[in-house]
Amino acid sequence: MSSEKHSTKQSQQPDWKFEFEKHWKAFCRKSADYFLSRKEPLSLPKIGGIACGGLLLIWLASGVYIIDEGNRGVITRFGAYSETTQPGPHWHLPMPIEKVAIVNVEQQRFIEVGYRDTGRGSKAATIAQESLMLTTDENIVNVRLAVQYQINNARDYLFNVKHNEATLKQLTESVERAVIGANNMDYVLTEGRSEIVAQIKRDIQAAMDDYKAGIIIASVNLQDAQPPEEVQGAFEDAIRAREDKQRLINEAEAYSNEIIPKARGAASRLLLEAEAYEAEKVAKAKGETERFEQLLAEYEKAPAITRKRLYLEAKEKLFSSTNKVIVDAGQSAPQLYMPLQNPASRQETSKSPEAQITGEPAAIDKSNGQKMAGNALRPSRSKP
């Protein structure tokens, strides 16, 4: 909608050239009709006066000029600046008194440093004298730069700097060499491109403002930055080596991030186990101490009974862990050998599914069997 309104507005603007030509033709036609309608012949002085008047009118009419949209008119009077006119119809004192120079202030202009673009789809030609630059680490890089600019002050553009485009190109090359020479090769070719372009643009604009050239830098584009073709292969090898180095560093950091938490966890686990072992041993020692103190009290009350009970408990504990039982029935009687089940086989039986299902009754039978065996081996305390 906005574009339609803009186009309608532009179509409504009068064509000043067409209007001037129309009025001039009407004036000429009326003048011819006036002279043709007179019956008396004109004298020579009158003809001379009319000719001089016509020439004067033509001379004055030559001062009419029209400034198109996007342009500015710079008027000079005897070579000195007079004024700057805006778009539209204007008149100035005709030559040789005043002259007008029309400057396009909206046109985007370009300069190329280090290459020339033919514009026919072919590869741009590299200018070695402009593109080869030395970095701070004494390496040579091939840099191609494009600068886009436009005129923001027509008076300054025409009067302050001579050969504006050539001056801008030489200044751009000088600033570019200074910025590239202050950085190393890796920074120029990799992560420093945007910062270098921004710095070049700032320096060029500052220099143009000092010159009062009437130019504003719209953009600076780094078309390409590569090492020279003679060392391209070695440079690619160096890049691959740098990438391998970074990859190995990343892998080492990943391994470190993986193994260090595990080591810390294992260390914490060992510390906790040591603390638990310490607590267990301390508690067990305290329990043994309390048990011994209670046993001592009982021993002091009945030493013989307590000694006998301790002997029997030790004997029961010793015989419960063996798979053979020898019963001494006397010197003349034969010794009885009673083979019991292997403790290892008992553990396997207890781990079998059937033992797990009937685990509780088996435990009861085992405890009952141990009690019965203990009672059978325990000597009777009753007197014969």
Could you read off the pLDDT of 212-271 as tens digits, one per residue? 888 888 888 888 778 777 777 777 777 788 888 989 999 999 999 999 999 999 999 999
- pLDDT of 352 > 90? The answer is no
Q: Which two tokens stand for residue 102?
A: 């029309």
Q: What is the model's pLDDT at position 372? A: 42
Contacts 24+ apart (CB under 8 A), 372-381: 373/319, 373/320, 373/325, 374/316, 374/319, 374/320, 377/315, 377/316, 377/319, 377/325, 378/312, 378/316
* Averaged pLDDT score across all residues of the chain: 75
- Give tens-digit pLDDT for 178-228: 998 888 888 888 788 888 889 999 999 999 889 888 888 888 888 877 877
Residue 211, strand partner residues = none
d(CA 144, CA 223): 5
Cα–Cα distance, 272 to 266 (Å, whole number): 10
Q: Which two tokens stand for residue 283?
A: 């508690």
Cα–chain center distance at 174: 31
Task: For residue 135, give every residue at least 6 positions away whose Cβ sits within 8 Å of its Cβ, in sequence order, or none.
Answer: 141, 180, 181, 183, 184, 185, 188
